[in-house]
Amino acid sequence: MKISENFCVLGFEIESDRLDIARSLLPVIILSGILAGIVELITRHYIIALTAGVASLLAIPVWLKSHSSERWHQLAWYFWLVFLLIIVFMTNTQLHRLESLIWSPLTPLLFFLLAGGSLGALLSSLSLISFLASYYVFPLVTQIEPIPPYEFFQVIGVYITTALLAYRYEKIRSHNRNLLLVQADRDFLTKLLNRRGLQKYLKMQLMYAENTKTPFSYVMFDLDNFKSINDRFGHDVGDNVLTKVAEITKNSLRATDFIGRWGGEEFSFILNMVEYKNAALIAEKLCENIRKTDFGIGEAVTISVGLTEYQTNDNIDSIVKRADVALYQAKQTGKDRIVSV
């Protein structure tokens, strides 16, 4: 399970799934670069042929090793950034050839595809400024007249339109993606974290505890006789009980603690920087808060609790198993109680 969905490039956060896009496009650029180099060599555009050939050769080791480590993952992305800048450079040196310019509107699509909204917008803007500046500098440097202004600004118009559409699409896609990520980690009924979301934060907490040597406690609890509540009062009442228990639990803990519905009538939470003795006091207070709440069924609702403290070399499976064993013991020894291991 990934802890983070992003990585950092040039100070901007890039979604990790864009690396897959970069890797999949590298073979295409290798073949395209070789073919473009051959064509430019035949037409005696030697500098462009050399640039395309070198870019293709550099892409081969990057592609072959792009799956092996995080360093090569980011190198694959950086290669694409450099390659797109090379495209801008090559276009700026061929402003007398309309066929060279017609590819330029594709660069914003690739910038946004690989870099996302913020960095994609920056790169697209810099590329546009480069085109505009080069168009007026080109005749002074090469003594060659560029293509007519109306043709050039038609291409620029298409470039700007493509960039705006790509930016708008990226904003919508990013919003929908973030919404789905939140929904994927949340329980629909209680609005707490679900098992997937809780495991993600538990893994983060384990890494933090290992690096900083700080304690934390992990607690699991189960509603006693919940099946009987469902059978006697119906599932709507049962859902209401679960929702209220979730609310009570949330209000009984700190904002820095992570709470989730593990499944069914079973919940769990992570108490950051809390040793098991204090965790037992917090759990006892939670039991009391639930016990004294009126759920509208004419009887008290109780919970059984199993808790454990982080131990060196713990992983998700080991710490969850200990808490689950403690919870099982609490259920077997009379319910409405706390057991720690």
The catalytic residues are 265
Buried b (16+ CB within 10 A) or exposed e, 245-277: bbebbeebbeeebbbbbbeebbbbbbbbbbebe
Let me know the angle formed at the C-alpha of 131 by 129 and 135, rounded to the nearest 5 degrees. Answer: 120
- Sequence-distant (6+) residues with CB within 8 A of 328 are 306
The dihedrals phi and psi of 48, each to the nearest 5 degrees, come to -65, -40
Report the residue count for the chain: 341
Strand-pairing partners, residue 305, are: 221, 338
Distance, in Å, from the CA atom of 75 to the CA atom of 62, rounded to the nearest integer, reads 7
The Cβ-side half-sphere exposure at 73, using a 13 Å CA radius, reads 15
